[in-house]
Structure 1
Amino acid sequence: MTAGPQRFLFSLWPLRCLAYLASGAVTGALAMVVVVVLGTSGVLLSVLVVGVVILSALLRLTGPYAALERARLRLVDARRAPPPDRWRVLGYGLLAATVLWPVELGVSVATVLLTSSMLFGPVVVSVLPPAAVPAGLRLGDWIWLTPPIGVVVMIGSAYVLAAVAGARAVIARRFLTTGGAGRLVEVQRSRSRLVEGFETERRRIERDLHDGVQQSLLALSMRLGLLRLRLGDDAEVSALHEESRRALRQLREVVQGIHPHVLTDRGIGAAVDELAAQSVLPLRVEVLLPGRLPAAVEGAVYFTVSEALANAAKHSGAREVEVTVRLVRELLEVTITDDGGGGAGTGRGTGLQGLADRADALGGRLLIASPVGGPTTLRLEIPCGS
């Protein structure tokens, strides 16, 4: 909503908010039925063993219910919700079963019916029989003014849906996270600071090697080359010259592996393009980013793409690789797909476990789909919200 009317109205956000509220009305109504049936039965039969069993079953249902509600929450909130305890879920279920679902149902039905009736007023009047049309509504009258009014109503409804869904998501997150959510957030922030500090140190080492040791080794190689020209075909000088050139190439590879210079100077888009130019496989690249990302995030993206390309070239037998980097609702999504034979995994020595650990330290995750026979798809997701 804060991104501007054009960006908000022409996105999927209004539909996602409607889906969140409509599905909440359904799950809330089902929760009401379960609570009434099991709760009443358990209380009435509490003097017997069967009543205790029923109440225990009701408490056990909080786990699947919490998982369902956390999955629904991702429609409007991409942040991860730490698992809550059962009593908080039970309280949330009671609130949803008594208060929340009627509100969700009313808002969803009202916005859909009001918007559709205004937008398609002339169609409704022309299809319905005359006896079913309210007095005064005819195709030749002011009924043709309803579609423009319906557009205004639809725009207003989009903001109403977003506001109600946002408030509903705040309530859900308050209940569907652990009581120590503040401590968990602080731990995650500490891990993020650790990763950022590590990336800063990597860049410092890369600069020291690039501007210091590499330049000295380059100067030494040039002096040996000049000495080789003056002495002619001196075997010892030629061997030293070739050795210095090999050492320079190895140092450049080390510097590139520590932190690519192009990543620091020009960002992840240029760094991925450089990987594409160096790849032995045909590569299709699509980078859709509004600007630079945090340094730790760019480093995670670069090394994930680099590792995926190396695995595809060495192990998969792929003929083509496709890389997509985009920012969707403050969630960075990086997808690498190859048409190889599949079979990749974090436990097979491919280095993917280290990439998954790096993503987890940034609050993200690395998803792998690699069935035998292919294709292989790696998906990196990292929250990049403010």
Structure 2
Amino acid sequence: MTSVHNTNKVEVKGTVEDDSKIVSLTVNGQEATSFDGKNFAHTLTLADGVQYVTVKAVDAFGNEMELRREVHVDTKPAVVTAVTVPAKVKGNVDEVEVTFNVKDNFGQIVAYIYDDEVFRQDLVEPYDKGFNKNITATVPVKMGENKFKFVVKDLAGHVTEKTFTITKEKTTFSDIQTYWAKDQIEMLATQGIINGQTDTLFGPNADLTRAQLAALLVRSLELEVKDSTGTFSDVNAKTTWAYKEIEAAARAGIVKGDEKGNYNPNAPITREQAATMMIRAIAYEDASLLEGLDATHKFADQSKISSYALETVKQAEALGVFTGREGNMFDPQARITRGETAVVLYRSLDILELLDNN
């Protein structure tokens, strides 16, 4: 039977019985410090590692009896070193892998993130091989500071703890700090739905193309994209960067082409086109949201809304996805900007309950 000790001072005790008198009892060659002829006790000083304790008794006739036991001495806790622990992550990251290196005299190691076990290795021969491995675990992160504790328990029960903090940062851009739709842009960018023109600039007043809006909706609804073309004569892998997304949006009934079979992917998108695509996306995800709407509102320039878009514009207004401009004007043929698109997309996803507010 093997015993484990977390101190170099190992107490050895037991009993010895024989028909004749025991005249000598040694522990690892040392006379037992306490022996009454039957019960004995002795303290050894042993180095860390796999050690052996030998108890030897000699009776009055010179007969020898010997008992040998293996003991594991482990006085030092595991040494834990952070290998990969990011201090900050972007807002569209929900889980983070962290890696710690763990070293110990013995091969039995159990690791936890707080109380959740993330790694276990039991003791196997050769027992003195030791432990030196990287342990990787995945931790969930929410917006702001996320504090964690990596805990390692070794063979002797020593506990080593490493606390670490990962900050999940929201994504922002230098040119939206005073922009009226700053919050919506940051939310969508943080969730990886909308991107900036560069890492630091969003371009809120820039136009949005028909290809870009199709890509945004496909990304938002997590539609399946395939390497296929053919729906539109002007959309192909060579000339259209978002051809897969446009095809996916077409399969879902969100986008349609003109009478010539063209999609016009690089054309700036208008407000009535954007409203129509938003409503089709909502209908694809949950058509019940369009039932029973009070779509009686009439814009002052309603006569300028294209016939194909009139119903969807009214539905978009009734749902609160789109609002009119000054003077109760919808301005259907006006181009929609990137900032405006972020707002109507945010409202649509909020209605569909597809936004992650963590």
Indicate the structure with greater helix content. 1
Indicate the structure with greater strand content. 2
TM (normalized to structure 1)?
0.21
Larger radius of gyration, structure 1 or 2? 2
TM (normalized to structure 2)?
0.22
